[in-house]
Structure 1
Amino acid sequence: MALQQDLWVFGYGSLMWNPGFPHVERRPALLEGCARRFALWSTEYRGTAERPGLVLTLEPTEGATCRGVAFRVAAGAVEETLAGLRARELVTGAYEEAWRPVRLLDEAGGAAEAVCYLARLGHPQHAGGLSLAEQAAIIARAQGRRGPNPDYLFSTLEALRAEGVRDEEMEDLGVRVAGLLEGGAS
């Protein structure tokens, strides 16, 4: 059975700059109760089994908020979009698909129920608890099928800045990784 209504997708990391699906609208959004963190081992996209990288997760965290973007997908493209997102985000089981309310932050305002992909905190790929220095060292040296891990970090920082979002921890991480790259991290 075909879905008969539009779909909203919340992006907080690579979906912000590389959604990979057609959308009819892109709006700044806020998700409450979750935090954006570099806390997922990447052994394919941004690292390898021998030298894993790190990618972002969305972790349920009381009192936290995460600024990102909400994409509206037309009803006719919902099934294909969800299939593509599931193939991209659920391939290793490290994320779970969830539907959460997001607040739309542009002049039109409003709210939407959006699909998002939350970290499975007990999954073997979850890398919670790493210090910023440890994260930077991992990111600076990793590379996978989709390219160098630092590119993922810097593209996400650029997307956040374009949305007017200043994430202090991500900014600090960017400075640390840039410093390691300038110093010849291996």
Structure 2
Amino acid sequence: MFRDNVASADSTSESVWIFGYGSLIWRPNFEFKRSVSGYIKGWRRVWWQGSTDHRGTPQSPGRTLTLAEDPTAITWGIAYELAGCLEQQQETLKYLEWREKQYDVRLHVDVFALPVATIAEVQSGPTGPSSANLSSLADPAICVQPDSRESSDMHTAQTSAGIKAEIVENTNLVLSGCLLYLASPDTTKNVNYLGPAPLEDIARQIATSCGPSGRNCDYLFGLIEAMRKASVNEDMEPETFLLETLVKAII
């Protein structure tokens, strides 16, 4: 069975989980019950999406993150369980649809625990969890320890909107069916897709772009700060940390 302070769901609950890999990591800006730090498999974080609504303009697009399929890659991020009743959760999803309106694909993904990944029960709030509220899965007080002689229990939560999140009693697989927003390379549906470019050119674009949500470089710096707090290092995200160096040299 789950311990009381480990993320869990039962058949009578209505849980919606969102996986963030960009600004949702450091600026969720919606109320949530709990957050889980972990990674998804088969996707690589890339700076290939143009932003004309948040971190740039139509005349001078910024660059924000999306994911590219890569069977050898993992991408670290944070999953959030939406707070409130079903009606409140639907309002949050409407906000996220507006916020992620230039992202044309919705996926459901599995979230896995890093060796030092965290699972947190935090106070609801628009600014997200503080590092003081995060607890390590390695902490024996909260670590899930399924009996190897028995199959792991799986608890499923289903919303009326059809968004499902499963909490799996396993120290590696943490969440199943977590909603993720993705900007695809299909330019017939995603007109703001920019695609790959030399890292120096991406850095220059990030350093010089600004939009209604602020400077493009602050999007990068917010992500880097969150990564460092979560002990995600340069070996795991070499391109992102190199971008920080290149952008700071420009600004």
Q: Report what 2:183 is aligned to.
A: 119
Relative to structure 2, which stretch is displaced further, 49-58 or 122-131?
122-131
Distance in 1 (CA, whole Å) between partners of 2:84 and 2:70 is 31
| Farther off after superposition, 150-159 or 95-104 | 95-104
Residue 46 of structure 1 contacts residue 142 of structure 1 at CA under 8 Å; is this kept in 2?
A: yes
Q: Secondary structure at the match of 1:24?
A: strand
Distance in 2 of aligned mates of 1:134 and 1:95: 25
Counterpart-to-counterpart distance in 2, 1:151 and 1:75: 30
Matched, 1:128 2:195: yes
Pairing partner for 1:28 from 37, 43, 58: 37
Q: Residue 159 of structure 1: which of 223, 226, 236 is its match? A: 226
> 1:4 deviation in Å?
5.0
Aligned to 1:169: 239
Q: Structure 2 stretches of 5 or more lacking a match?
A: 1-11, 119-136, 138-142, 144-170
Runs of at least 5 residues in structure 1 that lack an aligned partner in the other structure:
182-186
1:150-183 Cα shifts (integer Å, max 9, x gaps): 11111111111111112211000000000011xx
The residue aligned with 2:27 is 18
CA contact (8 A) 1:34 1:64 kept: yes
Q: 2:98 aligns with which of 87, 91, 94?
A: 87
Task: Count residues with an aligned counterpart.
Answer: 177
Query: Would you identify which runs of 4 or more consecutive aligned residues in structure 1 move more than 4 Å?
Result: none
1:46 Cα shift?
0.7
1:67 is aligned to 76
Aligned residue for 1:98? 107
For the aligned residue pairs, the C-alpha RMSD in angstroms reads 1.7
Percent identity, aligned pairs only?
31
Q: TM-score, normalised by structure 1?
A: 0.88
Counterpart secondary structure, 2:93:
helix
Where is the helix percentage greater, Structure 1 or Structure 2?
1
2:42 touches 2:69 (CA, 8 Å); kept in 1? yes
